[in-house]
Amino acid sequence: MKLPLFPLQSIFFPGETVPLHIFEPRYKELINDCRDEAITFGIPVYINNTLEYGIEVQLVEIVTTYDNGEMDVVCVARQVFKLLTFEERMNNKGYAGGLVEFLEYDYKADEAYKKKVIHKIQELYGMMDVPFKAIAIDKFNSFALAHKIGLSFEQEYQLLQMPREMERLSYINMHLMATISVLSEVERTKKTIELNGDFKNFDPLDFKDIEV
């Protein structure tokens, strides 16, 4: 399938709301075409000087149009794709385009494992003293809190490419375990530092059974 393209150094996951401020003429043209022709466009992720994977998005609303033609728009992320070809101008338009191949995703996961991941997220939030809003197990998937668990840009990009829900949840769980372990060690070190300099009662060593 051929899609208009709007490359960004940003990552969006399926189902996510995508707010954009449009100011370049070529992307004003793109948004107007999406509105007038009911077409979707792709946001390939610019990472390591390459464009390879991205997300198809659909225009939902043009929230504000400014006097200079700039726009605030809201889109919704749909399907992940792999970019096969790229052209600077699509069909003589000002914006880029390219052929994409959509990845086949699934959202099948063991409920017990989902609960395990949610518990780890709660534990992480508790350690950081961050409020956690409960999520119904039937509405939770690997993308629900992907931006809110401390993944790096590169890790989010890896997650985007994983087509199986259990694979994504396993990846997130391993990240959470590693992060919690690091934070636990930091907390232990903090307590050790705080104790340093305090007056303490030590039991003297008993040397009577030591042979020299």
H-helix segments, the chain: 25-37, 111-127, 153-160, 165-195
Scan for tokens 């401390």, then name that residue.
150
Q: How far apart are CA 136 and CA 209, in angstroms?
A: 63
Mean pLDDT computed over every residue of the chain: 91
Report yes or no: 44 and 69 within 8 Å, Cβ to Cβ. no
Q: What confidence tier does 186 reach under pLDDT thresholds 50, 70, 90?
A: confident
Distances from the Cα of 114 to the Cα of 37, 121, 131, angstroms: 40, 11, 20
The predicted-structure confidence for 137-167, as pLDDT tens digits, reads as follows 988 999 999 999 999 999 999 999 999 999 9
Summarize the confidence of residues 166-183 as an average pLDDT: 95
* Backbone phi and psi for residue 52, each to the nearest 5 degrees, phi listed first: -135, -50
CA atoms within a 13 Å half-sphere pointing along the CA-CB vector of 76:
4
* Backbone phi and psi for residue 92, each to the nearest 5 degrees, phi listed first: 65, 15
Q: How far apart are CA 81 and CA 43, in angstroms?
A: 9
**Which pTM was predicted?**
0.85
- First vs last Cα of the chain: how many Å apart? 84
Domains and their CATH numbers in the chain: 2-102 (2.30.130.40), 111-195 (no CATH)
